[in-house]
Amino acid sequence: MKRDVWITEVALRDGSHAISHQFTVDQVRKVAKALDDADVPVIEVSHGDGLGGSSLQYGLSHTNEMDLISAATEVVTKAKIVVLLLPGIGTVQHLKEAASRGAKVARIATHVTEADVSKQHISFAKELGLEAVGFLMMSHMAPTEKLLEQASLMESYGADVVYVVDSAGALLPHQVKERVHCLRNSLDVPIGFHAHNNLSLAVANSLVAIEQGATRIDGSIRCLGAGAGNTQTEVLVSVLDRLNIQTGIDVYKMMDVAEEIVAPILQKPQEITREGLLLGYAGVYSSFLVHANKAAKQFKVDAKDILIELGKRKVVGGQEDMIVDIAAEMAKKTVKA
């Protein structure tokens, strides 16, 4: 099957944030099977914060993620199951178990300036016979030269693909163009792009990435993902089909999966709310939205103010505890006032 662009469907991982990590085995089976039937080549499954993410800090899963990985691998016949791992949250033991459950690809994710912590996990993924993907999160927070430096490190560790990851949905099209163009012309491995839709630019930015040579693009069916969601897969594949860019995915089946199987899972429609927009505007990690809303309710402060402060302090993934600290500080100031 000819594929000019390889789509990775991330709803069963990034979408975990949107439903507070409450995926069930039955839901994963139904979604994974339907995506496989539609010829989606790569499907990501794990806790929203990657392997080992189920915790009080990041959010407790309804179901052990290893069981979800097994559920997906048991029903697909063509697609590869991919897992995400953030060093410091997930361990090599998590990676080893995920591989034993049938995962074929490991995406090793670090903050955009911390690629050096990925060396052990990328190397171990290769030892396990997995495809290893370097995943540079919050790519808007580093200049292109720094991004290239960090991407080059991941390539040197053995990464088969390196991704520009717009975790906050903050990148503008010209910034995507510059970053992907630079990596594509400087690295020997394929380049990927992962978008969030907080500024309503996910599809547009993904198209820019493809124009600049990215061949691995992430999408989330029905926009099921953190913040305002990711690049909406069924929309992206429809646009690419109109452009005669081959993804190998059945457009009509994807529309049906989105409407009939994934839509009922959503706790509320994925739309760009005020807080979601602020994530992109202030450059805040998309998965912080649920945590900020929860802290706002607990301390009786405005979630908008929490998100703005997170942006000012340049808080990044892994610092979720700061959300509660900031909310508590705001509550104390309100009482004193």
Burial class (CB within 10 angstroms; exposed 0-12, middle 13-18, buried 19+) of 225: buried
Q: In whole angstroms, what is the distance from residue 185 CA to residue 152 CA? A: 12
For residue 94, give the 3-state DSSP assignment: helix
For residue 132, list its beta bridge partners. Answer: 106
Residues of each annotated binding site for Mn(2+): 14, 194, 196
Three-state DSSP at 153 gives helix
| pLDDT score of 263 | 95
Average pLDDT along the chain: 94
Binding site listing: 13-14, 167, 194, 196, 285
Q: Which residues contact 43 (CB under 8 A, 6 or more apart)?
A: 8, 9, 12, 32, 35, 36, 72, 76, 79, 80, 81, 82
Quote the CA–CA distance of 199 and 179 in Å, as a whole number: 18
> Which tokens hold the place of 240?
């690419």
pLDDT at 57: 74
Arithmetic mean of pLDDT, 279-283: 92
Residue stretches of the annotated binding site for substrate: 13-14, 167, 194, 285
Averaged pLDDT, 280-305: 86
Instruction: Please state the pTM of the whole predicted model.
Output: 0.93
Q: Considering 17, 47, 111, 121, which one is annotated as catalytic? A: 17
| DSSP letter assigned to residue 226 | S
Q: Which of 21, 14, 25, 34 is nearest to 107 (CA)?
A: 14
Judged on CB neighbours under 10 Å (0-12, 13-18, 19+), 185 is: exposed
Here the tokens at position 266 are 């959503």
Q: Are 194 and 229 in contact (CB under 8 A)?
A: no
Least confident range from 214-218, 230-234, 272-276, 285-289: namely 285-289
For the record, the structure tokens of 181 come out as 């163009």
Strand partners of residue 32: none
Specify whether the CB–CB gap between 147 and 139 falls below 8 A. Answer: yes
What are the distances in angstroms from CA 232 to CA 56, 146, 236, 254, 333?
29, 29, 6, 11, 40
Residue 319's pLDDT band, with cuts at 50, 70 and 90, is confident
Q: Are strands 6-9 and 161-165 parallel, antiparallel or unpaired?
A: unpaired
Stretch 136-143: mean pLDDT:
97
How does DSSP classify residue 117?
G
Q: What pLDDT score was predicted for residue 329?
A: 85
All structural domains of the chain, each given as residue ranges with its CATH number in brackets, are 6-265 (3.20.20.70), 287-336 (1.10.8.60)
Cβ proximity of 97 and 66 under 8 Å: yes
Amino acid type, 101: R
108/256 Cα distance (integer angstroms) = 32
Q: What pLDDT, on a 0 to 100 scale, did the predictor assign at position 1?
A: 72
The pLDDT tens digits of the residues spanning 154-196 come to 999 999 999 999 999 999 999 999 999 999 999 999 999 999 9
The question of whether 17 is a catalytic residue gets the answer yes
In the numeric block, which tokens belong to residue 263?
Answer: 């839509």
Biggest alpha carbon–alpha carbon distance for the chain: 65
Using DSSP's 3-state secondary structure scheme, residue 247 falls into coil
pLDDT at 135 over 90: yes
Q: How many residues does the chain have?
A: 337
